[in-house]
Amino acid sequence: MSAAAAPKLEFSQGDRVHVKDMTPPNHHRTPWYIKGRRGVVLEFIGMYVNSETRAHGDSGMPELPMYRVEFEQTHLWFDYAESPSDKLWIDLYEHWLERAE
């Protein structure tokens, strides 16, 4: 994470978001099970090197905003049989998120 000046952020704490349901041909670190799912932004966690371009020999710059997003386990797995209060946390780049109603 860099200590650069505060970036312009698309999302803030409490925003409801969808994870884009896309499968770009390049390396990416958004697992399939949250694609297309709805979550809530917990916090902006900082600016991070773009692992999607760095994986292909690029410098990974510029750094991109990353958010910690919370999902209801019962929204991720239709047959989730444990507790309805259970959550999943994952960190996602801004370009994977879109605003949900």
By the rule CB under 8 A, 90 interacts with other proteins: yes
By the rule CB under 8 A, 66 interacts with other proteins: yes
CB of 101 to other proteins, least distance (A): 25
CB under 8 A, 24+ apart: contacts of 87-93: 88/34, 89/42, 90/31, 90/34, 91/45, 91/66, 91/67, 92/19, 92/30, 92/34, 92/66, 92/67, 93/30, 93/48, 93/50, 93/52, 93/64, 93/65, 93/66
> Of 89, 98, 99, 100, which lies in the binding site for other proteins, with binding defined by CB under 8 A?
89
By the rule CB under 8 A, 46 interacts with other proteins: yes
CB of 45 to other proteins, least distance (A): 7
Which residues of this protein are in contact with other proteins, per CB under 8 A? Answer: 1, 29-31, 33, 45-46, 48-49, 51, 66, 70, 73, 76-77, 80-83, 85-91
